[in-house]
A and B are shown apart, each in its own frame.
Chain A
Amino acid sequence: DQQVKQNSPSLSVQEGRISILNCDYTNSMFDYFLWYKKYPAEGPTFLISISSIKDKNEDGRFTVFLNKSAKHLSLHIVPSQPGDSAVYFCAASAVSSGSSNTGKLIFGQGTTLQVKP
């Protein structure tokens, strides 16, 4: 049972345009959401996160939007650059579950973004 889903395996956009990556989740206990970026032959690196008490978090060119009623989040990259070409993973955790914080993340399948010059 995939609790975090990224239904688009790939996305191609032109340099300078907006990239929108989508993620859906099913577990209503998730209260913290993250996006990780992964280049080939490297481990994932943290990009941006959002707590469930917010609906938007912005960091430079990256903005994450959270729609709790729809159990949906999205990552917007504006403007997109060729260096943004990578695999993007959406992840979720339930840090306030009352149990010990295990640092556990539930990941989506990933979306490969290609930004064309």
Chain B
Amino acid sequence: EAQVTQNPRYLITVTGKKLTVTCSQNMNHEYMSWYRQDPGLGLRQIYYSMNVEVTDKGDVPEGYKVSRKEKRNFPLILESPSPNQTSLYFCASTLDGRTDTQYFGPGTRLTVL
């Protein structure tokens, strides 16, 4: 089954404690993205990757890091989380960058105390 998986699905942490949210896709997609969803703001792109070792900033990259060492994985790293990073996070992938073929993961709800 074609899918994008994220782990963990729910996470409560404290300010400053480094965390990683994993994302994996089994469709051999080139493009992967991370979005955050906040009330009244919709989904905003954090980072994206067009291929292995190729990443770039989206609209709200501050406080986040990513890496793309393998095609299937695109982890999101919060080196020093802060309460304003409390949000619902989605990973997405697409084969050729065409937006209508974008597949989203189920989401990770992060709370930073």
Residues of A within 8 A of B (CB): 2, 4, 6, 32, 34, 41-46, 49, 89, 91, 93, 95, 100-105, 107-110
Q: Is the CB of B106 within 8 A of A109?
A: no
Least CB distance from A73 to B in Å reads 14
Contacts of A34 in B (CB 8 A): 99-100
Q: Is the CB of B104 within 8 A of A103?
A: no
The 0/1 profile, CB within 8 Å of A marked 1, for residues 2-27 of chain B is 00100000000000000000000000
A/B interface sample: 14 pairs, CB < 8 A = A2-B41, A42-B106, A42-B107, A44-B43, A91-B43, A95-B97, A101-B98, A102-B31, A102-B33, A102-B50, A103-B92, A103-B102, A109-B41, A109-B42
Known: A107-B42, A109-B41. A43 touches B107 (CB 8 A): yes
Q: Is the CB of B48 within 8 A of A95?
A: no
Cross-chain contact of A43 among B4, B50, B56 (Cβ < 8 A): B4
Once the chains are docked, how many angstroms separate the CA of A4 from the CA of B41?
A: 10
Count B-side interface residues using an 8 Å CB cutoff. 29
Q: Is the CB of A44 within 8 A of B100?
A: no
Q: Is the CB of B44 within 8 A of A101?
A: no
Least CB distance from A77 to B in Å reads 18
Q: Is the CB of B107 within 8 A of A108?
A: no
Least CB distance from B103 to A in Å reads 8
Q: Is the CB of A105 within 8 A of B101?
A: no
